[in-house]
Amino acid sequence: MVTADEARNIVGIMGNCISFCLFLSPAPTFDRICKNKDVEQFTPDPYLATLMNCLLWFFYGLPIVHPNSFLVITINGIGIIIETIYLSIFFLYSPPKKRLKMLIVLGFEVVFVASVVTGVLISAHTHEDRSRIVGIICIIFGTIMYAAPLTVMGKVIKTKSVEYMPFTVSLANTINGGCWLAYGLIKFDLYVTIPNAIGTGLGIFQLILYLCYYNSTPTTEQNVELPNAVADN
């Protein structure tokens, strides 16, 4: 008989593997940037947002905040490293204006995370209080991250075309959200459960949209645009 802890670890490891693949999914974009030595029309915003999200979840998983969250620490620690590499490449090949924007946003993120860490450690003295404060902040940022594809979903409905919403990424995001939702439910963790419940729901909606509009998407347009859409994610 599998115990709750064992089941949670299995689901968490699955979630880590899928999350790792999602972290690596923009690699073709950065390979292209390095080869061309130009960021073209790509934006650093998704990677800046992901870095912030990973930093907050990494802090949440630390033993001083929420004990027994090793899997949360590992995947978000890996995410921090990968996003830092992406942003370093982006900074290297960006024009001055984009570099300045990146520095401003990164500066804000560092100050914000440092303020959260300092404030929590000074004002909250129990694991429960620290988990609640950091967890609420993580819910807010996690929900924003998952809500980002809403603009793409609106575009799919408006154009009746899924060329800008690749199936593989939508499916991977849905499975990833489902794994972490299960992880949060097995030994109930409200702060992991809420954003991933939202993410799973939005992921399922994306898959439904894909089924509804796939046949109405011109094949030639899909073949041309899909790789760029994947790169942007």
Q: What are phi and psi of 86, to 5 degrees?
A: -55, -50
Token look-up 């940037």 returns 33
H helices within 25-95, ranges in order?
27-36, 45-61, 70-92
**Domains: count for the chain:** 1
CA distances in angstroms from 85 to 33, 59, 90, 212, listed in the order given: 13, 20, 9, 37
DSSP H or E run through 16: helix 4-24
Q: What is the pLDDT of residues 35-45, one digit of tens each?
A: 999 988 788 88
pLDDT of 59 reads 97
With a pLDDT cut of 70, the percent of the chain lying above it is: 91
Asked if residues 176 and 12 have their Cβ atoms less than 8 Å apart, the reply is no
CA distance 177 to 155: 22
Range of the domain at 214: 4-232
- pTM, full prediction: 0.80
Task: Determine the 3-state secondary structure of 19 from DSSP.
Answer: helix
Q: What is the pLDDT of residues 194-225, one digit of tens each?
A: 988 988 998 899 899 988 888 776 654 443 33
To the nearest 10 degrees (0 to 180), the angle between helices 190-213 and 167-186 is 150
Mean pLDDT of 151-162: 82
Asked if residues 194 and 139 have their Cβ atoms less than 8 Å apart, the reply is yes
Q: Is the pLDDT of residue 97 over 80?
A: yes
